Amino acid sequence: MNGPSPQHRAECDCKEFYGGKCIWPECKSSAVRDDDPAFVKYWLRLGVSRYFIERTAARIYNEAFKGIQMLIHDHKLPALIEHAKIEASEGTCHRLQVGAVIVRDGRIISSGRNGAASGQPHCKIEECFPDGPACRRAVHAEANAIAFAARHGVATEGCAIVSTDSPCLDCARLIINAGIKAVYYSREYRDVKPLEELKRAGIYTQIV
């Protein structure tokens, strides 16, 4: 062995470990980070590699949520994504069109798209455009779907949400508090931290 590569030192990308322990003790990926969950910090301090911890946690997560996956049968997901895309096409935010539907027992009970709050001026093309600064007017699709259900007394406890895009952090927290148990999406938001927060809250996530 000639020693770890720079990439390995940065990312533990070579995945060389024995018994859960990285063979290169200086591997930086095994350093404890401030934002690590408590159980990750515990095992890292025992010398277990980050790669091994993450893969083991993923296996446990997938086993635990096998039942929740049946909230929506796989054959229905493409059609539900298409419904979300139709919602997105009616969004009034020029920066990004996003649509979402909330589903119980395979049936849509609420929907939303990103755009200005009811009765408020829509986004202006000169203020809101693709790859431009964050939109200040739009309410996100997931938030609108949850708000519509709440306004009409429709319970979202135990439901799933199907969206064109994975949620931002604020929407992820709304999803948690709405009692939604699964999130399906077709594009990944640029920040994966919201998905991590959903998983920590026990919510199943899946890209479709």
Catalytic (active-site) positions: 142
Question: How far is 32 from 116, CA to CA, in rounded Å?
Answer: 42
- What the block records as the tokens of 143 is 């938030």
Q: DSSP states of the chain as a string? A: -----HHHHHH-TT--EETTEES-TT-GGGS--TTS-HHHHHHHHTT--HHHHHHHHHHHHHHHTHHHHTTS-GGGHHHHHHHHHHHHHT---SS---EEEEEETTEEEEEEE-EEPTTSPPPPTTTS-TTSSPPSSEEPHHHHHHHHHHHTT---TT-EEEEEE---HHHHHHHHHTT--EEEEEE--S--HHHHHHHHTT-EEEE-
Question: How far is 69 from 84, CA to CA, in rounded Å?
Answer: 19
